[in-house]
Every structure is written in C-alpha cells, then in structure tokens.
Amino acid sequence: MSPLIVACRCILVLTIAALTAYALRHHLFVLSRLGQRKSRDMMELVGYVAPSVSVLVPMHNEENVAADVLQALVDCDYDWAKLEVIAIDDRSTDRTGEIIDEFAARYPVVKAVHRKEGQGGKPAALEFAGAQATGEILLLFDADYIPGRSMIKFLVTPFCDPEVGAVMGRVVPENGGASLLAGLLELERGAGYQIGQQARHTLGLTPQFGGTVGGVRASVLKAVGGWNTYSLTEDTDLTFRLLLHGWKVAYVNRAECYEEAPETWQVRSRQIRRWATGHTECLHDLWKSWLRAKTLTTAEKIDGLFVLACYWTAPILVLGWLASLVLFFLPQAHSSLAFVVALSFMGYQLFGNQATFLELGTAALLDGNPRVKMLPLSLFNFFGSTGAICRALLAFYLGGLFGPGNHHWHKTKRYRNGNGKNGANGHANGNGRKNGNATAARLLIRAPNGIYLCRQEANLT
Amino acid sequence: MNAWAFILFATAFSALVAAHFAAAYRSWRATKGQEPSDIDPDYVRLEDYFARSFRMHVSEWLRLPPEQALPDGTRVLRKEGEKIRVSAAAEFAPYSVSDEILEVQGSFRAGPGCLFRREIHARGVARIGAGSRLQAIASDGDLFLGAGTRVARWADCSGTMEIGPQCTVRSRATAGAKIRLKRGARVASAFAPTVLTALDAHDPETAEAELPQPEQEFPVPDPAGAGRARRIALGLDPARLRQLGPDGGLYQGNWKPAAPLRLRVKMVVKGDCKLPAGSLIEADLKADGNVDVGAGSVCRGNVIAGGDIRFGRGCRFYGVVHAGGRLHLDTGVRAGRPEAPVAAYGADVLTVDDGVIVHGKLASGTFVLAGAETKKRRRRQG
C-alpha cells in the first residue's frame, strides 16, 4: 500500500474523530439547554447585588456610535453613587474625544480619558483606564453596543458568588435584516449564546468572557496579571487565565445587548481571521498549563481544549475532504478499510452536521426567530468561514497574519451613520437611543392570556 | 444502474437540494429588513411589573366610552373582546362566579368559594373569602386572601397583604408595606419592605441585635507562627486550603469547624459547610454542597450553595442568599434592613418557619412555604 494512501486514511480517521467529538459536544449542549431548569440561575437576585462598578468603554475613531453607548450607560438604572463610566479615547483622529468630553461635562458619572501615546489596541487602552477605575467590578462595552437600562444590574448579580471572577452577557445582532450574511450571523450568534454559552454555564464547563457585555472583578484582574496587551483575543486569554487561577466565568443569558454584526463577507472574513489567530495563539500559550492545572475538573479541561482548538476544525475538515478525494480516485485505495472510513465519513455527514443545524435551529426556536427557515443557507457562511480560518491559520503558522508586535486597533466595521440613530433598520428617533422615547405601552407585548408582557418578563413566566 | 436511471436520480436529487435552498432563500427575502429579536432597551426589572402593567392598562381602558351604563353607576367597557366592569364598590356573595375584568373604585369583598376568571383591580381594601379562586388581583389598599384561596397568577397591593393559611399564589406576591404569610401559605415569591410569618407577642420586628463574638478567627492572626495548628483547630486541613484572589480562600472538601468562628475573608468550600452556632460571617461564603448555618449566627456577606442552605434559629443575614437546592429559614431568622433589603432564593422549596422577618424578597424555583417545618416538628413532637 502506498504511503499516500496510508497518510490519507490517517487524515480521514483523524478528521472523523475530531469532528465527531465536536458533534457530540454540540448535541450535549442542545440537550442540556432544552432540559435546563430555569430556576438555577440568579435572576431572582437582580437588583439586590450592588457593588461599586466602573464601566470601561474603549474607543478609537468611534464618532458614529460614541454618543449612543454613553447615553445608554448614563440612562441605566444603577445607583450613580456606585457607578462610574470611563470613556477611553485611544488617539482618535475624529470627533470621539470631543463627544466623550461633552458627556463628561454633562454627567458627573462619566469620566473622559484620552490616550495620546503608548502601545495601541483595545487591551492596552483597557489596561491604561483600568488603573484609574475605582469600582470593585469592571464592566466592558465596545462602542457599538447599546446596553439596556437594567443591563448593569443583570451583569453584576453573579458576582455575589465569591468564586465568580468574570461574567458574560448575551450579544444580539441588531442588523440581522440588513444583509444575508448579517441574518446568518444572527442565527450563528443565537446558537453560540443561547445554546453554547448557556449550556457551558449550566454544565459547569468554561463559558467564555467575550471582552464586551461582560465584567471582571478588578482585584482578580490584577491578581491574574491584567490584560494581555499582546493578544489579539485578550478576552479569551483572560478567560483561560481566570480559570487557571481557580475562578469561574458566569454567563447571563438575560443580559442581552445589541451589537452590529458584519454585513459584508470581507468584514466577516477579517473578524473571523482575527478570532482564529487569537484563539490559536492562546492555545499555544496555555495548553500545557491548562492540562496540568489542579484547579480544573476533567470536564473543564476537555471543554477548554475544545474551545481553544475550535478553529483547528476548519483546516482538519479541508484536509479530510482532500484525503477522501484522493482515496476516491485512487483505484488501489478501494480496500475494506477505505470502505469503513468512507462510511464513517458519510455517517458523520448525517450525524455531525445535524449537530450544528440542531444547535442553530434550537436557538432560533427558543428565541422565536423566524429566520430559522434560512438554515440551509448557513452552508455559505460555513464555507466562507472555513476559507477565512484556513487562511488565518496558514498565515499564523507561516509567520503571522497580523504580524508580531502589530498592536493596533482591530475593529469590526461600524454601520451606523452617526446621526444618533441606534439601530440599522429604523426605530430611530434622533435622541441617541433606540426606541428611546417609546412609551411603556409599546414595550408591552400582548400575550394570549390577555396580560401584557415585555420580552424579558415573558421569558420569566 | 443504467444511464436513464442515473439521470432521473440525479435530477430528482438536484431538485430536492434546490428546493431546500429555494425555500431558505424565500425565507430570507421575507425577513429581509426585519429585526425580529427586538430587545427592549428601556426594560427595567421591577418586582411588581405585572401589577403595574395591569394598572396602566386599566387606566387606559377607563378612558373608553362605556358600552353599557347601569342605574347603580356600574359601567361596562369593551376593549378588543375584553369586558371590563367598573363599579364604585363591590361585594360578591359566596360562590359567585365572574368572567369579567373588575375595576372596583372602592373596597372589594368576596364571600367564600368565589371564582374570578379575570383580573381584579380594587382601589380600596380587598378581602377575598376562604377557598376562592382568582386569576390575579391588584389592590391600592390592603389585601386579605382568606384561607385556602388560590391565585392563578400574581397578587399585589399598596399596603399590607395577608396570605391566609393554605393559600396559594402561583406567581409573585408583592406589597407596598408588608406581607404576612400564614402557616401553610404558598407563593412563588414574596416581595415587600417586610415579609413575615406568624410572630409571637415577644418577637421583635427589628433585625438588629448584638453580634456574636466568636473567639476563633479566619484568616488566622499569626504573629507567633502558630497558624497551621490554629487552622487545624478550625477544622481546616492546610493541605486542602489555598488562596483564591487577594481576599479569599478555597477549601477542597467539607468544612465543619468545631467551635464558632469569625470569617473575615471570602470563602469557597468545595463540599459541605457546617458553621457552628454563634458564628460571625463577615464576607461572602460559597459551598458546592450544602450550607448549614448554626443558630444565632450572623452573615454579613452573601451565602451561596450548590445544594441546600439552612439558617438555624435566630440567625441573621444581610447579603443575598442563593441555594441550588432547598432553603430553610428557622424560627426567629431576621434578614436585611428596611433601608437595605435582601433577597433569598431557593431553586427548590423555600421553607420559612414561624417568627421570621425578611426585609426584601423570598423567592423559589418551586414555591415558598410558610410554617411547614414548624408543623412537621410539632407533629413529630406530638
């Protein structure tokens, strides 16, 4: 038997093993989410946990969105005596600095911080501003996010648990109707948070702190060495360092916050390449200490490795495709083993792909998202992402896509037009808030039993 | 397979795949520009959200022209199939049945065994007779739910609410002043400045009392290097104890100190935790298993457990309490202060003995049950 055939078979076996493991994990998550007891979360304690909070909003050329996020934060229903909002202008060349200065002048709760020198990038800006923060808890919002009025209360509640080092909320695209890609990303984000993060939280695994719509204890951040200013995914890096030091990350599904999802494939490609590179960097940095850690359970270790290595699945899958093609066209490859391997591959196609669709579909159904019927089109997102990840990892192993020491802002493109309109598709009222002057009546949804609920309360009953 | 069969199969298969994508594409076209997952940015979490929402809508409905005006001043309004009866005061005879939303602009009284299938709003005092069944009720005065009354959803009042023996409120009970839970009363959650169960005449309503003064401390003051021995005396195996952050410790295993202690750092116990009577817990405490707080102890931090939590007789707590299992508050437990309310939650049943006062909220994933343990204990003793 030729070495090529042996190599192809080995690759195929490896591919099947890896993808089956991920597929099993996704099935487990869906089952966990569907069988979850709502009563185990801490939502009944919301409003009774009130530590001092510093909200950090790092910005670099964010004049289109800066006013929206700051207005939303000053409108939050958190006690101002325990709140400070630190708006960080990291050497912007547009009106960002002026906007945050205006807010600081109008609202005593807002503090404007201007960086003119030093290392660039979001983690460096956070490190700089974090030193000036006085709150016990540091909450983070990217400039394009729009926190709701009770968001801070939702996010600080899990910190009543002394073992929780960081908390993550849920990100919901506000522009899912803007393009096909944005719609598909809405489905993908739904699966990632509604199923993936929630199941990992429920099962005591490793929910991830995403660097925005989340928070971390200031003392803990300091104890684990602060932000890694050299990482492309400083949030993933922090998540794993927290877990290595024995802390837990909590996920709050009810802390929903709007974001802008990429609307074009180029923007999406750049975003996912950054994530793939950052995750893989973390994998290389941390896998040894992760496996040796005594603070982690076996389940946490396994899940953590799944998270860190998740971007490897794309090149593994591509290699698997190539190997199966070779085996298909080489006549001498048609042995019984090849048949078994091919059969397994087909089996995976049935069972493994079902896992992804099951997760996306379940999340859409739980959210009542009518885009669930778009699921077959996810195939395009899958191929696009696979290509982008392969490109990123190839560049990473061949010398670095973003280049070593290239510490600047890696931002996803903003789509808002800077006229104070929050939201891509209407609801705009020019007062800096999405639905800002909506009456309470508009927010109440009529349920079939004759009572009026808003979405969050409807979830409660 | 001959050529025609292959062509037929390939065509059918391609059509199936194409139909799949065509349907998905149609769905995309149909939802283009829509934002179905609408979050309410103005949403503010309120304990009495349902009652507020109902009151707000009642006030809107009252502006509608009446469909019918009766000689006794009663008006009947209609709104999208809803029938709303507006009256000055209302008194329902025993075993009455009503299918209308009731807006009562004075006091409301229902005899025993009544059935109200829709919501009630009373601007005065509301008294519900024993064994009645209600959908939901909001009162701007006091509210008295007679023994064995069942409320299918929420109950709210601006003054004092008395939830009678064996009464059930299946959702939230909220009051502007006090909620008295009689023995055997069940609610999903009870929120008021003061929530209390049956008090003896000598039970003080205040939470303040002298703090216990335990001799043992953790972390151990260690001027003479005797820390290890002292930790062992505290029931801690030094090999299982490690630092968790700058102000906390993590203990692998069960922790059951033999003598009352003063805990001044956050503590995470990877097992069960049983604190002796008279302990003083000044920071947050968490156990993956059960937590048993001995009688007369005081907890100033939050108490979290993956399993059950039990507060012994006369304990006081001033932080939030969250039990992944059952939560029990024994006789004489005091929680929170009027100016600093607290919340106690049990994912499983939350049982509250007689003589308990909580400033804030009691909530459960199943139900809060008043006086159950007392009854069981008395039965055992009897």
pLDDT bin (cut points 50, 70, 90) of residue A422 is very low
Please report, for chain A, how many H helices and E strands are present, in that order: 16, 9
Domain count of the fold of chain B: 2
CA pair distance B378, A129, nearest whole angstrom: 60
Closest CA of chain B from A161, distance in Å: 6
Same domain for B182 and B231, yes or no, is no
pLDDT bin (cut points 50, 70, 90) of residue A351 is low
Residue A415 has pLDDT above 80, yes or no: no
Chain position carrying tokens 């185990």: A40
In this complex, do A146 and B244 lie within 8 Å of one another by their Cβ atoms? no
Query: How high does pLDDT run on average in chain A?
Result: 83
In this complex, do B320 and A45 lie within 8 Å of one another by their Cβ atoms? yes
Q: What is the pLDDT of residue A370?
A: 86
Among the partner-chain residues B56, B301, B363, the one whose CB lies closest to the CB of A44 is B363
In this complex, do B322 and A45 lie within 8 Å of one another by their Cβ atoms? yes
In this complex, do A48 and B242 lie within 8 Å of one another by their Cβ atoms? no
Residue B246 has pLDDT above 90, yes or no: no
Bridge-based pairing of strands A214-217 and B342-346 is unpaired
Among the partner-chain residues B27, B53, B136, the one whose CB lies closest to the CB of A371 is B27
Which residues of A are less than 8 Å from B50 in CB distance? 451, 453, 457
Closest CA of chain B from A115, distance in Å: 29
Chain position carrying tokens 């800096």: A432
Q: B92-102 pLDDT, tens per residue?
A: 999 999 999 99
* Closest residue in chain A to residue B45, using alpha carbons only: A150
Same domain for B103 and B156, yes or no, is yes
Burial zone of B238 (CB within 10 Å; 0-12 exposed, 13-18 middle, 19+ buried): exposed
Same domain for B245 and B285, yes or no, is yes
Q: A352-404 pLDDT, tens per residue?
A: 667 788 899 999 988 888 888 888 898 888 889 999 999 999 998 887 555 55
Residue B225 has pLDDT above 70, yes or no: no
For residue B317 the two structure tokens come to 């707590």
Q: B146-185 pLDDT, tens per residue?
A: 999 999 999 999 999 999 999 999 999 999 999 999 999 9
Among the partner-chain residues A177, A223, A422, the one whose CB lies closest to the CB of B32 is A177
Same domain for B175 and B225, yes or no, is no
In this complex, do A434 and B345 lie within 8 Å of one another by their Cβ atoms? no
3-state secondary structure of B229: helix
In Å, how far are B134, B259, B270 from B253, measured between CA atoms? 49, 18, 5
Q: A239-296 pLDDT, tens per residue?
A: 999 999 999 999 999 898 888 889 999 999 999 999 999 999 999 999 999 999 988 9
As a whole number, mean pLDDT of residues A2-8 equals: 86
Name which of A170, A100, A172, A88 is nearest A133 in CA terms: A88
CA pair distance A288, A276, nearest whole angstrom: 19
Q: Would you say B296 and B276 are in contact if contact means Cβ atoms under 8 Å apart?
A: no
CA pair distance B222, B229, nearest whole angstrom: 10
Burial zone of B40 (CB within 10 Å; 0-12 exposed, 13-18 middle, 19+ buried): buried
CA pair distance B94, B111, nearest whole angstrom: 4
Q: A176-206 pLDDT, tens per residue?
A: 888 999 999 999 999 999 999 999 999 999 9
Same domain for B80 and B158, yes or no, is yes
Q: What is the pLDDT of residue A189?
A: 92
Among the partner-chain residues A40, A183, A454, the one whose CB lies closest to the CB of B40 is A454
Name which of A23, A29, A30, A26 is nearest A365 in CA terms: A30
Q: What is the pLDDT of residue A91?
A: 87
Same domain for B230 and B369, yes or no, is yes
Closest CA of chain A from B217, distance in Å: 19
Cβ partners under 8 Å of residue A7, min gap 6: A323
pLDDT bin (cut points 50, 70, 90) of residue A159 is very high
In Å, how far are A380, A415, B21 from A178, measured between CA atoms? 17, 10, 20
Cβ partners under 8 Å of residue A340, min gap 6: none
Residue A437 has pLDDT above 60, yes or no: no
In sequence order, what DSSP letters do the residues of A196-232 get, joined into one string? IIHHHHHTTS-PPP-SSSEEEEHHHHHHTTS--TT-S
Q: Would you say B117 and B134 are in contact if contact means Cβ atoms under 8 Å apart?
A: no
In sequence order, what DSSP letters do the residues of B56-113 get, joined into one string? HHHHHHTTSPPSEE-TTS-EEEEETTEEEEEES-EEE-TT-EE-SEEEESS-EEE-TT
Q: What is the pLDDT of residue B318?
A: 95
Report CA dihedral (A261, A267, A273, A278) to the nearest 10 degrees.
-60
In this complex, do B320 and A48 lie within 8 Å of one another by their Cβ atoms? yes
Among the partner-chain residues A48, A220, A441, the one whose CB lies closest to the CB of B342 is A48
pLDDT bin (cut points 50, 70, 90) of residue B236 is confident
CA pair distance B256, B258, nearest whole angstrom: 6
Please report, for chain B, how many H helices and E strands are present, in that order: 4, 38
Same domain for B245 and B363, yes or no, is yes
Task: Give me the CATH topology for the region A39-299.
Answer: Spore Coat Polysaccharide Biosynthesis Protein SpsA; Chain A (3.90.550)
Query: A177: which strand partners?
Result: none
Same domain for B103 and B187, yes or no, is yes
CA pair distance A217, A219, nearest whole angstrom: 6
**Would you say residue B29 lies in a domain?**
no
Which residues of B are less than 8 Å from A457 in CB distance? 43, 49-50
Q: CB count, 10 Å around CB of B73?
A: 11
In this complex, do B268 and A370 lie within 8 Å of one another by their Cβ atoms? no
Which residues of A are less than 8 Å from B324 in CB distance? 40
Cβ partners under 8 Å of residue A339, min gap 6: none
Which residues of B are less than 8 Å from A188 in CB distance? none
Residue B380 has pLDDT above 70, yes or no: no
In Å, how far are A76, A85, A91, A451, B12 from A102, measured between CA atoms? 18, 13, 17, 42, 65
Same domain for B186 and B278, yes or no, is no
Q: Would you say A15 and A323 are in contact if contact means Cβ atoms under 8 Å apart?
A: yes
In this complex, do A377 and B268 lie within 8 Å of one another by their Cβ atoms? no
**Would you say residue B17 lies in a domain?**
no
Same domain for B178 and B238, yes or no, is no
In this complex, do B54 and A148 lie within 8 Å of one another by their Cβ atoms? no
Percent of chain B with pLDDT strictly greater than 70: 89
Among the partner-chain residues A44, A375, A436, the one whose CB lies closest to the CB of B345 is A44
Query: Which range marks the domain in which residue B114 is found?
Result: 49-194
Closest CA of chain B from A39, distance in Å: 5
**Would you say residue B28 lies in a domain?**
no
Q: What is the pLDDT of residue B113?
A: 95
CA pair distance B176, B199, nearest whole angstrom: 20
Q: B299-354 pLDDT, tens per residue?
A: 999 999 999 999 999 999 999 999 999 999 999 999 999 999 999 999 999 999 99
* Closest residue in chain A to residue B53, using alpha carbons only: A452
In Å, how far are A162, A245, B259, B263 from B275, measured between CA atoms? 18, 27, 8, 10
* Closest residue in chain B to residue A449, using alpha carbons only: B118
3-state secondary structure of A360: helix
Residue count (chain A): 461
Closest CA of chain A from B35, distance in Å: 6
Domain ranges of chain A: 3-29+311-401, 39-299
Closest CA of chain B from A2, distance in Å: 32
Q: B200-224 pLDDT, tens per residue?
A: 655 666 555 677 777 777 776 665 5
**Would you say residue B6 lies in a domain?**
no
Q: Would you say A169 and A151 are in contact if contact means Cβ atoms under 8 Å apart?
A: yes
In this complex, do A149 and B41 lie within 8 Å of one another by their Cβ atoms? yes
In this complex, do A160 and B302 lie within 8 Å of one another by their Cβ atoms? yes
Report CA dihedral (A171, A177, A178, A180) to the nearest 10 degrees.
100
Of the three residues B162, B194, B226, the one that is the final residue of a domain is B194
Q: What is the pLDDT of residue A455?
A: 38
